[in-house]
Amino acid sequence: MDPSPSLKVNVAERFQLMLAMTLASFEGSLRRHMPASAYRDFHLWAISAENPRQDVFLQAMGITQLTKLTVTLLDGLVDDRAWQPLAKYSATISSYLTYEVVSDNLAIGLASPRTDDMTSVLRRILLRAFNRAMIARLNGDPRPAAQLLAPLQSAARRISGFDQSLNRDRQRVCSEAYLILRGDLELADLEYAVWPALVANVESCLDLAESLCSRHAAGLLREGLVRRYQAVNHLLEARDTPLPQLVTVGADAILVAPTLAYYVAVLAEIIEPLEGFSHVIADGTLASALYDAALLVRLLNDLGTGLMTLAARERGALLDMMMAHYRECSTARTMADLLLNMSDDMDLFTRLRKDILFGEFNVGLNGLAHIRLTPDTLLAFGRSLSYFSQLYARHWTTLQETLAAISERLGDERASTLIFRFVQFHEQLYSNSFHTPAGEYAI
């Protein structure tokens, strides 16, 4: 049954409120934290109504999907009077997550650098320095990000922000529209300008951490953020990490745990304080739920909903199909080749296809993507897929049990509902093709 017209209106109104608050917050963050530059001026214009392709830019930066996620998470959890303050808090984290698109994109190609990639070494160095600056600021270093990252400013000008994205053409379209208004600029002024975004990213992250400084969840939020940047550096530097440890590092490397810690704190400590909330933090119950949620989303992000929810018999049939394709397809020399060939007709492999094409880290491809394709390689992939599927099912069960316990202890289901919805949102998101707006945050 379709939602009633009044419900649809409420959802639409809340989306517009959340979007407006996010854009206002992002504008303020740009003015406070991004060094004065043509790049900052471009962003101020691009998020405004003056940009005739504003919708394209907001989708490319992930702002549209973030807003949809927020409304989906929070719908029905608070009454109408609480939506205004809720939107204000949500805008703080959405601004930070928008900058994260740029820093995340720097890692594109680093999992398996191409021979013609002339900036992979430079980007690896830049990302390590960026992650260290983040950790330093979160741990109390008083030096601003512009100072911490100053030694890399010149080198960063060699990196194309367009090439390091999933949406080069959309970024170029918006940039060229702006250049018509600014005859004093060249395209390179906007394309090779990732450094100001990294500076603003660090400072907006610190804003987020400090927004809960007097709350019980402050430590959980800050720790989750620190672990994220430590984990990304681990992935950039480590080799031959055992699979269970790799999954844990992968779960830390995405921003699920700190994002949920923030939203749960806003609900349970600020909007409507709940007795007992400090106890589910102190004894690690909430942290356990956040880890399970992060691990589930990591697996969904890397392998896709379809692969993670296949029954054992279906996995066996899939492996038989892959084996038959291997025997018939002489051009497939590696597992990556085979998956790319098969994914032309099978959305089941869409997440693997994305990370192969863009050279991104993927727990499901670790150590398998580019070795010579043999029957043993396929069997290893089958064992890996079975391991991840069982892990996914086990942690879904554990998460639901933990969420039920949290609801009972708090006498309130809203925090648990929010976490549950977050995972469900990503199940739906990653069941779609990655090259569609319904299947990716920023494209």
Question: 74-126: per-residue pLDDT in tens?
Answer: 988 988 888 889 999 999 999 999 999 999 999 999 888 888 888 999 999 99
Torsion of Cα atoms, 392 then 395 then 400 then 401, to 10°: 150
User: Residue 267: inside a domain, yes or no?
Assistant: yes
Residue at 218 is within a domain: no
Choice among 157-166, 219-228, 276-285, 338-347 with the minimum mean pLDDT: 338-347
In which band, very low, low, confident or very high, does the pLDDT at 3 lie, cut at 50, 70 and 90?
very low
Do residue 268 and residue 355 come from a single domain?
Answer: yes
> Does the residue 191 lie in any domain?
yes
Domain count, the chain: 2
Query: φ and ψ at 334, to 5 degrees?
Result: -135, 170
* 120 and 42 together in one domain: yes
283 and 360 assigned to the same domain: yes
Residue 83 lies in a domain: yes
Which residue, 191, 211, 231, sits at the end of a domain? Answer: 211
- pLDDT, residue 6, reads 40
Q: Does a structural domain hold residue 341? A: yes
Evaluate whether 96 touches 225 at the Cβ level (below 8 Å): no
Bigger pLDDT: 135 vs 442: 135
User: Domain check: are 314 and 424 in the same one?
Assistant: yes
CA distance 275 to 263: 17
Say what the pTM is.
0.93
Residues 252 and 306 placed together within one structural domain of the fold: yes
Domain interval for residue 275: 239-443
Instruction: For residue 117, count other CB atoms closer than 10 A to its CB.
Output: 16
Q: How far apart are CA 396 and CA 423, in angstroms?
A: 9
Mean pLDDT of 388-409: 98
- Please check whether residues 254 and 309 belong to one and the same domain: yes
Enumerate residues 6+ apart whose C-beta is below 8 A from 31: 40, 44
| Residues 421 and 307 occupy one common structural domain | yes
Assign 4 a pLDDT band (cuts: 50, 70, 90).
Answer: very low
Q: Are residues 361 and 422 in the same domain?
A: yes
Q: Which pLDDT band holds residue 250 (cuts at 50, 70, 90)?
A: very high
Among residues of the chain, what percentage have pLDDT more than 90? 77
Mean pLDDT, the chain, as a whole number?
Answer: 92
Question: Looking at per-residue confidence, does 441 or 394 come out higher?
Answer: 394
Q: Are residues 40 and 131 in the same domain?
A: yes
Tell whether the model's pLDDT for residue 7 goes beyond 60: no
Arithmetic mean of pLDDT, 359-379? 90
